Structure 1
Amino acid sequence: MTGHPITLGGIHHAAYRCKDAKETVEWYARVLGMEYTTAFAEDHVPSTGEFDPYMHVFLDAGNGNVLAFFELPNQPEMGRDGNTPAWVQHLAFKVGSEEELLAAKAHVEEQGIDVLGPTHHGIFKSIYFFDPNGHRVELACDIGTDEQYAELKRVAMPMLDEWSQTKKAPRHADWLHEIARKEHGHQA
């Protein structure tokens, strides 16, 4: 969109809650190789001034991306939105190839963590598992062609418009499912 008054330069950081800051930092370093870079700890929330001690930790997710967590010891035990399925809210990280994805799966499983996948999404493949806080983590590698990505961009608005009217899955990108079925030897 040109002429918009805001020009974004990417995501500065995404922040989630954790049960234990140290455990979380150590888990992300051991399981995903993320470097712990920064921490802020305050007794009062800078934006609101309210008393709510916290530890805010930051991890390097690669390519200038930062993942952050808050430990909030004075708040009720953390939970999750019971009305949203566990598979919906997740952190997805990119890996460079299918080989890297399979190596990552083996590494994560060696850590004693259950892994689902690889799941074929037509233009990318993913594996899924949970961190010690109950956050779902996805590792994904892109496998699509430039033409496939261009077609998905072309049908994005018609799909959104149809979904808004019907609340049923639009069929504009059924070819993605066909790609996955063929790889797994299933018939359409």
Structure 2
Amino acid sequence: MTVPFTSERIHHVAYRCKDAKQTVDWYERVMGFSYTNAFAEDYVPSTGAYDPYMHIFLDCGGGNVLAFFELPNQPEMGRDEKTPAWVQHLAFKVADFDTLKAAKAHIEAQGVEVLGPTYHGIFRSIYFFDPNGHRLELACDIGTDEQYAELKRVAPLMLEEWDQTKKAPKHADWLHIEPGGE
């Protein structure tokens, strides 16, 4: 099938927030993101529904934008309780493992609990939650060209096996063996 377009990048990703100002302050202080702009309307442009909102945008670097909606007339926000909290998350790339460790120290100094660094074979990462309950991840790549090539090679095999069995395929078990530990 031919698709008549190509995506250049993600324009923005939008989530709900409890408080727009608190969210901007937290992302600037903890993550170093820049607050760039906001839209505020009483009526939703795409649907015409009355639902006042504040839509904020934060520059995450590299042309990536994270946005949030504060929706004061909607029921209190929650999360999908049928999906484990570790599943839905936003992951941001950092330069290297030293940067990841420095980020962890900075984030913890802001009073935020951080899990990790966790070893994933081709990257290491840390995890924490923003004030809205969204799980965030910072990750640094550590894989080799050979490892990425092998993962690409086995990806179709793994997907097919998963589709048939719904059990974790073992093609990439080597990802979970940390050499020397760190």
Residue in structure 2 matched with residue 21 of structure 1 by the alignment: 20
Match of 1:60 in 2: 59
Letter in 1 for 2:167: K
Number of residues paired by the alignment? 182
| Correspondence 1:78-157 to 2 at 5 A | 78-157=77-156
- 1:6 aligns with 5
Cα distance per residue 1:24-73 (max 9 Å; x no partner) = 00000000100000100000000000000000000001100000000000
After TM superposition, give the deviation of residue 184 of structure 1 in Å.
2.7
Cα distance between partner residues in 2 of 1:12 and 1:83:
29
Give the RMSD, CA atoms, in angstroms: 1.1
Q: Partners in 2 of 1:160 and 1:106 — Cα distance?
A: 37
- How much does 1:113 deviate? 0.7
1:34 maps to what in 2?
A: 33
Structure 1 stretch 146-155 or stretch 95-104: which is displaced more? 146-155
Give the fraction of aligned pairs with identical amino acids, expressed as a percent.
75
3-state SS of 2:106 partner: helix
Cα distance, 1:14 vs. partner?
A: 0.3
Q: Which of 151, 167, 183 does residue 180 from structure 2 map onto? A: 183
The AA in structure 1 aligned to 2:116 is G
Distance 2:3 2:80 in 1: 34
1:6 Cα deviation (Å)? Answer: 2.1
1-side partners of 2:86 and 2:69: how far apart? 22
Q: Give SS of 2:132's match.
A: coil
- Give deviations 1:94-122, integer Å, cap 9, x for gaps: 00000000000000000011100000000
Separation (CA, whole Å) in 1 of partners of 2:67 and 2:80:
20
Which runs of 5 or more residues in structure 1 are unaligned? none
Q: Offset of 1:175 from its aligned partner?
A: 1.2
| TM superposition outliers: structure 1 runs of 4+ over 4 Å | none
CA distance in 2, matches of 1:120, 1:45: 43
C-alpha distance in structure 2 between counterparts of 1:83 and 1:114, whole Å: 24
